[in-house]
Amino acid sequence: MIDTAVRKLVCYGLQKGFFEKRDEIYVTNRLLEVLNLDEMNCCDDFEDVNLFEVLDTLLDYAVSNGLCDDGVVSRDLFDTALMGAMLPRPSEITDTFMKKYTVSPKAATDWYYDFSCNTNYIRRDRIAKDVKWLAPTQYGELDITINLSKPEKDPKAIAAAKNAPQAGYPKCLLCRECEGYRGRINFPARQNHRVIPITINDTDWCLQYSPYVYYNEHCIVFNSQHTPMAINRATFKKLLDFVKQFPHYFVGSNADLPIVGGSILSHDHFQGGNYTFAMAKAPIEQSLSFKGFEDVTAGIVRWPMSVIRLQCEDANRLIELADKILIAWRRYTDESAFVFAETDGQPHNTITPIARKNGDKFELDLVLRNNITTDEHPMGVYHPHAELHHIKKENIGLIEVMGLAVLPARLKDELAALKTAILNNADIAADEVLSIHADWADEIKAKYSDINAQNIDKIIEDEVGIVFSKVLEHAGVFKRNDEGLAAFIRFTESV
């Protein structure tokens, strides 16, 4: 049985183009080495191999023979080593990518994305478990995802990670040194990982895909050096340079301050991909004009957050104006709108920028951010407030800003139980788990006169979308009312 599984994996690698027929014996012996086997006696050819079933068979063998523990972390470390034994060196992957790029940028990324899936770096079996839907709102259809693809660590792995020595290599999950790294109990294995070196704004960066793929071809563009996140003029240059090279992708950056930034502020990086979010579809609802930049189309976007959209065929003009807006926003204070550039020496204002190509024009969305906190809102004034934490309390980063809610895994079971409780008219406030949703459930029951087994799923999905739109409204600096619009325009006039 183990011989057959090894042979199937070899056939899979050969069919996916990981190696040539000439390398078949060599790759087989590399797999035997990982599995601590001295021989195998299967030479049959297999087609349409189910990678996940084969890996499960090999992992069960490894566990039963003491090669790894039977926890998700240990199994992930081991199956990544198996995949890594079949893959080409990074230089070969880069060479293939560049050859594809001469055909078209899309041909290159199509090939690289398929490669990243086929190597199991992108774990499609887990991503398929994510719960996703589109929710209609006044801002368009928002993407909702309950994230189930990041595996929960088992107690044994958590204990082992706590006792493991703290290593400084690689420095973080985005470092170039992750490529080919064997991993450890507190750091994922990356033997099946290959990155593409690119140059943007005359600096060395790298392209890879997110292993969790929250949307189509979710890529990460990261600095080849471990350097902190920063939003500045060079950021706009890099974003637009990337879009020039990959015009079928958008690319954006998380903000560079806590609360309004992403989960990794220590390593400069962007996120992009081949997807059109609701924010990109949102129209300009208030035209703007900036002195000296009459050639740039500008306006306030109809979106729950505070977004200035710039459009021009000349990317350099966007860079000039975006830098001017950023400098003005960094130092801008409007006490009447509760906007403070700094308090006690701590800066609060920054920008989440997103770049894309729209026809012949370059497009740059500048999302104004502020991370001030108060006693009433200790997690952030422009952060989802406490009444929405039953659905979303995590930071609102780039992905959420554009209109995709990445919601915690707990909601899968909680929402299912909540539907049952509503249909059964149960006392939700008395339920230890569901009580956090009690006020929301009362609002839903008051809103809909007829809730039944046929419409409850749609109702809950739509209402989650409405909550997420409120989350984004909370994160918006200038509120969507007459006073907020007037304050927004006051800022633009100060630029």
- Looking at residue 157, its pLDDT comes to 58
Residues facing residue 404 across a β-bridge = 143
Helices (H) and strands (E) in the chain, counts: 16, 15
Q: pTM value?
A: 0.94
Predicted local confidence at residue 492, as pLDDT: 98
Sorted by sequence, the CB contacts under 8 Å of residue 147 that are 6+ apart come out as 130, 212, 214, 406, 407, 408, 409
Q: What is the mean pLDDT of each run of 10 residues along the chain (495 residues)?
A: 95 98 97 96 91 98 96 95 98 98 98 98 94 98 92 58 72 96 95 98 98 95 96 98 98 95 89 98 98 98 98 98 98 98 96 97 98 96 96 94 96 98 97 97 97 98 98 97 98 97
pLDDT attached to residue 42: 82
Task: Name the residue among 19, 47, 208 with its Cα closest to residue 116.
Answer: 208
pLDDT of residue 262: 77
**Which residues share a beta bridge with 252?**
271, 354
DSSP character string of 423-478: HTT--GGG-TTGGGGHHHHHHHHHH-S---TTTHHHHHHHHHHHHHHHHHHHH-SS
Whether the CB-CB separation of 275 and 217 falls below 8 Å is answered with yes
DSSP-derived secondary structure for 325-384:
HHHHHHT--BGGGTB-SEETTEE-EEEEEEEEEETTEEEEEEEEEE----SS-TT-TTS-
Residues in the chain: 495
Provide Rg for the chain, Cα atoms: 25
CB 144 within 8 A of CB 464: yes
